[in-house]
A and B are shown apart, each in its own frame.
Chain A
Amino acid sequence: MATRLTRHLVWTATDSKPAADAADLFSAAATPQLVNLATVKAPSVQEQPNLDVFSTARERAVYLLHIGAEVEHALMAQYLYAAYSLGGPHLTTPEHQRRAQQWRATVLEIAREEMGHWATVNNLLTLIGGPLAFEREDYPIPADLYPFPFELEPLTKKSLGKYVLCEMPNEETIKDLGLQEEMEQIRKSVDADKDKISVHRVGIIYDAVAALFTPPVQPKDPKPTPPSFIASSDIQSQSIRFQVSPDAWGLGYKDILIETANDRTSALNAIKAISIQGEGSTIGEFDKSHFGRFLAIYREFAGEGDWRPAREVAKNPTTDQSAPMDRRITNKIALLWARLFNLRYRMLLMYLAHAFRIEAPLKASGRTPRGLLLSWSFGEMYNLRSITEFLMALPLHEGENEPLAGPPFEMPYSLAIGARDADRWRLHRDLLLSSQMYVKALRDGTGKQYEKYLLGLEGANQSAIDQVLTLIGG
């Protein structure tokens, strides 16, 4: 599914000027441009996606938001993987342990914020009536759509460099911050030239979406056809009740930035908020931005030959038994956990997809299963974390100590959700029953080692199954 997005994206080198001037984007022919950081020394050379296939502003916005959602989704998983790789029994000094723990907490925080961005992008899609975007490709992901080739890898100085470049604000801001030279060094250190890696700045996507939400001064005669911005009639305020709010998601704690929008202004504010926190062209508080936080870690992070903050986990681990051996999980127990991880990951995505399709209750006394789905989603994140910890303590191949396995974050064959509500619940039931099968297999195969967790998971599954059966009368 995600590859279809790529098909419509043709990267072309142009000599056009940078997209800093938003007004340029509003002409019917203008298209959003992605800055290639490999060309940071020569900013006049730009890349741009050819989006001419789309004729209306709304359609272009939907397309760009889908790219945004995929990128946020992929970043989130990638950062989670990197964060959980930090630490391990090889860290023997308290100072190394402390620093790894601190970095882990920061990267996890950023990953959580990417999830908030992802939810915000889907809220914006909901606002303009676009289809939701939960898809992405499996790792490793080629760079044609993404800021750089996405890989699940332990956190290293090089991978950190890529994250810094990806979250970097625009050139003007970099110049203001006096970071041009440092960025150039980082670009070199990630071997951008050697590996032909083009690290694109994600923020340009949001710049372009913001431009499409902004009405320019319209000439009276003749009016441009089609309009160069999203029509007011396509911005649906009532959609707010289908959007995910921070109140509903985190019970109101300000952990995660999730923006909702019910009009043009709030949509622009939402885009601004996620841009400022990460990936945007400008920067709010440097220390609190993703860029600032990654750069701070990068500066402190151990270089090659120095101490190793991360565990020796595999790159892009997979359950695919035809994949190269350095990625393939062959350890039977790790494979079961990895497959269970994929299943629970799918469950999380399906809960979210379903929750977005249920209206929030109008009154405090109104009852809908939306809250249940959100609570389950919340719980799934905990499950994914627990299973990740188990995986990162198991070798990829039996009989070897390293590399260790890790969560594959493999996408299911489909994220399509049934047209009828009862069928959506049937899907949840089926996935829960599948999870029970994995739990049984793991209990049979591991004895006492994970007994308590598996017993608890079994109980949680059963309780969820009972609730689903109550809802669908089964």
Chain B
Amino acid sequence: MADLMQGKVALVTGGSSGIGRATALIFAREGARVVVSDVVIEGGEETASLIREAGGEALFVSADVSQAAQVEALVAKAVQAYGRLDAAHNNAGVEGSSMMTTDYTEADWDQVIAINLTGVWLCMKYEIPHMLKSGGGAIVNTSSAAGLLGFRRGSAYVASKHGVVGLTKTAALEYAKSGIRVNAVCPGAIDTPMMGRLTDHRPHRAAKMASFEPVGRMGSPQEIAESVVWLCSGAASFVTGHAMSVDGGLVAQ
């Protein structure tokens, strides 16, 4: 165990798999007590067990981040269980349908925006008051390389992730003087269950995805998680309002 997050309480949404699970595990490795949340109960419970098996402290709370009442209850349960909230990784997201802008249906669109963008806003809406009470905190929102660049057949995802960057900057400015830092992380192609769905679990499609990466490989969930946890730590005390690319050079092209 290291000590980047010693004595702190961290909340991770989308913590049942992929990047969220990796962040929850690394928060715990660095000494934080972790509240894991997701709509996928089995995976979320498993993440909490993995943390406890490694000697850490964790709690799973089921919540759909697109529902205000559920987000409010989630944050309240976190504070009730551990007494405070110091760090939050608002990470829950969906990829949505893969189709051209004109073919997108309102139902497809609404779901992606509700989870990826409104969900991040709702999380901050209920997290920030608790951080203000305890004198500060740090938030990292999961955007994407698609929060900085366009991608064909991903209009709702791209719009939601661009929105997360703008929302992150705005919240960062609003709470900069109150000791709350707000940053976004922009992952490139990462080897997660979401990526598995996007490549239809076919190796040649995954290889093609990796070939878009200047480093020639996909990133691992742990590589994003290390950035997120570092951004939440005291070492990043002057970093706020930043959209941090962790993408093997993808957006530098």
Same complex for A and B? Answer no
